[in-house]
Amino acid sequence: MVRTRFAPSPTGYLHVGGLRTALYSYLYAKKNNGKFILRIEDTDQKRFVEGALEHLIKMMKWAGLDYDEGPDKAGEFGPYIQSKRTELYKKYAQELLDKKAAYRCFCTQERLDEMRAHQEKQKKTPMYDRHCLYLSDEEIQKKLDEGIPFVIRQKIPSSEVVKFDDHIRGKVSFAGKTLDDQVLLKSDGYPTYHLANVVDDHLMEITHVIRGEEWLPSTPKHILLYKAFGWEPPQFAHIPLLLNKDRSKLSKRQGDVSVEDYIKKDYLKEAIINFIAFLGWHPGEAEENEIFTLEELSSKFTLEKVHKSGAIFDIKKLDWFNWQWNRKNLHEKLKKIATEIDPNVLIENPKKGEFVYKFNNEKAKQTFLGKRAQTILKLCEEYLDKKYKINPELLNKALITVEEKILRNPREINSFIDFYFEIENYEKALLTNEKMKVDEEMAKTALKKSLATLANLDNFNSEDKIKEVLLNLVKQMSVKNGQVLWPLRSALTGKQFSPGVFEVAFVLGKEKTINRIKKALSKLENQ
């Protein structure tokens, strides 16, 4: 049975790379009907952070990465916290000593520092010089009797070449002579990462070790340990590094790296998970959809589709996932609302992710629009300037025209709708547009004729009607749509970008529409 694990060192926060490792390990286990284990690697007591364990557990629960065994979920192979397993590691370190696969090292920190400085001066990779490997049994006994503190080091067979198959990186090999005689047990009796990790992966019957590429150089040492113990090593999959946009290693300097930061910024959980899953993985060419729930991801995930090269952490992509998820959630709610109002409503999906609701009676349509506005309002209410609530009817209509923008960026709500309430004092240049062949004369004519047309229109309650009369006007004038609609839209909004002119006129209503056109005309006439 497949057994994977997430083995974090509790640091007090969850790095986005950590979440990805946890996610891939979880997905792989689920896909293969296996078990997913949470193991806490906290043997570095210097790095102890109060509350870090609880925090990690909370984050795993938040993400929905349910583990089958873990610190708070009993299993056959517990405890799942390394600091509670220290006696075990001592026993296994002794076994390595007995097998001559490890040795005691009595070197003082001073000697090690000198040795390192010397090696650095000679431009050599710093490595333990095996001084204590050559101590005689008598010398060792003497030092032990004197109570000199010691560490236990792994004895790397220098002539060996360690080879293994990595699920992502393919065939990998390391020459023994490049590997350091790693400390396995520290003088305080605590194991290092290497010993504890190997012992636990073996005892906990882990079949697949899925971890970040930064651990790849440790793997040959681990394989040698498995060999020394006479154990079968698990399979390995080293997932690519996370990179900044400039392809440097993902760092705090260029943006947030902890998952908590993104939660604080109101990114949806589903969007974060979806985004993280796609950092270095894609279900394949044939798959166009990228919006998946955790469950869907579990059914699609394979290690073969994990990329070899580094994955760029692009916030824009996270924004995109967040938008898509907001949209998906909104439309799920709207579908329910629509069918409650009218079971015969026609819901069309003309463009991927976009929905059109067709009611065959006006009353149902109006009820739906009211509820739709309320649903959109919920998405942005906390950011909405209270002053816009004074006119709820206008607000409701306005919200519907900027729905997609709110889904993308609810924090910006005020700048999306402000013009409906109050128009800025814009430059008259906004009314012209060289590309669209709208000079001041054209703008003036277009606005004058639009004014007359709209002043004549009694039924301002229909967006379709507004559209019809304006397009007729364009036809009559034998000009291009933009030559009339650009100056008109600018006059009504005072903005370079806004929703379309027909819906804006409809939301503003006749009086405001007429007044704004007059104001624009006076700008063109007076200056």
Using alpha carbons, select from 270, 102, 107 the residue that is nearest to residue 198.
Answer: 102
Please list, in sequence order, all residues whose beta carbon lies within 8 angstroms of the beta carbon of residue 167, skipping any fewer than 6 positions away. Answer: 208, 235, 236, 237, 303, 304, 306
Q: Pattern 313-352, binding to ligand GLU, x per CB under 6 A?
A: ----------------------------------------
User: Does residue 8 interact with ligand GLU by CB under 6 A?
Assistant: yes
Listed in sequence order, the DSSP H helices in 99-241 are 109-121, 137-145, 193-203, 219-229
Question: Which contiguous run of DSSP H or E holds residue 239?
Answer: strand 235-239
Q: Is the separation of the CB atoms in 265 and 334 below 8 Å?
A: no
Residues 168-197 close enough to bind ligand GLU by CB under 6 A = 193, 197
Using alpha carbons, select from 371, 291, 378, 361 the residue that is nearest to residue 335.
Answer: 371
User: Does residue 223 interact with ligand GLU by CB under 6 A?
Assistant: no
Q: C-alpha 82: how far from its chain's center?
A: 29
Beta strands in 276-434 (DSSP E): 311-312, 346-351, 354-358
For residue 312 the two structure tokens come to 């760029």
User: Does residue 207 interact with ligand GLU by CB under 6 A?
Assistant: no
Q: How far is the CB of 412 from ligand GLU (least distance, A)?
A: 37
User: Does residue 226 interact with ligand GLU by CB under 6 A?
Assistant: no
Q: How far is the CB of 215 from ligand GLU (least distance, A)?
A: 5
CB nearer ligand GLU, residue 44 or residue 290: 44
CB nearer ligand GLU, residue 37 or residue 341: 37
389 is catalytic: no
Using alpha carbons, select from 293, 85, 289, 29 the residue that is nearest to residue 200.
Answer: 85
How many residues make contact with ligand GLU (CB under 6 A)? 8
Q: Is the separation of the CB atoms in 421 and 471 below 8 Å?
A: no
Stretch that binds ligand GLU, among 5-13, 68-76, 242-250, 321-329 (CB under 6 A): 5-13
The residue annotated as part of the active site, out of 58, 163, 252, 480, is 252
CA separation for the pair 329, 323 (Å, rounded): 10
User: Does residue 42 interact with ligand GLU by CB under 6 A?
Assistant: no
Cα separations in angstroms, 233 against 82, 199, 225, 228, 461: 20, 11, 9, 11, 73
Interface residue with ligand GLU, options 41, 166, 270, 403 (CB under 6 A): 41
CB nearer ligand GLU, residue 301 or residue 502: 301
Using alpha carbons, select from 305, 319, 367 the residue that is nearest to residue 342.
Answer: 367
CB nearer ligand GLU, residue 7 or residue 517: 7
Interface residue with ligand GLU, options 7, 22, 184, 204 (CB under 6 A): 7
Q: Is the separation of the CB atoms in 90 and 189 below 8 Å?
A: yes
Q: How far is the CB of 343 from ligand GLU (least distance, A)?
A: 53
User: Does residue 9 interact with ligand GLU by CB under 6 A?
Assistant: yes
User: Does residue 208 interact with ligand GLU by CB under 6 A?
Assistant: no
Q: Work out the burial of residue 427: count CB atoms within 10 Å of its CB; fewer than 13 is exposed, 13-18 middle, 19 or more buried.
A: exposed
Cα separations in angstroms, 154 against 103, 133, 161, 494: 7, 10, 16, 73
Stretch that binds ligand GLU, among 1-9, 90-98, 175-183, 430-438 (CB under 6 A): 1-9
User: Does residue 52 interact with ligand GLU by CB under 6 A?
Assistant: no
User: Does residue 418 interact with ligand GLU by CB under 6 A?
Assistant: no
User: Does residue 211 interact with ligand GLU by CB under 6 A?
Assistant: yes
Q: How far is the CB of 234 from ligand GLU (least distance, A)?
A: 10
Interface residue with ligand GLU, options 13, 77, 150, 215 (CB under 6 A): 215
Instruction: Please list, residue by residue across 105-135, b when 16 or more beta carbons sit within 10 angstroms of its beta carbon and e when fewer do.
Output: bbbeeeebeebeeeeeeeeeeeebeeebeeb
Which strands, in side-by-side order, build the sheet including 183-185? 102-105, 151-154, 183-185
Stretch that binds ligand GLU, among 4-12, 96-104, 125-133, 471-479 (CB under 6 A): 4-12
Stretch that binds ligand GLU, among 6-14, 316-324, 364-372, 490-498 (CB under 6 A): 6-14
Catalytic residue set: 252
Which residues of this protein are in contact with ligand GLU, per CB under 6 A? 7-9, 41, 193, 197, 211, 215
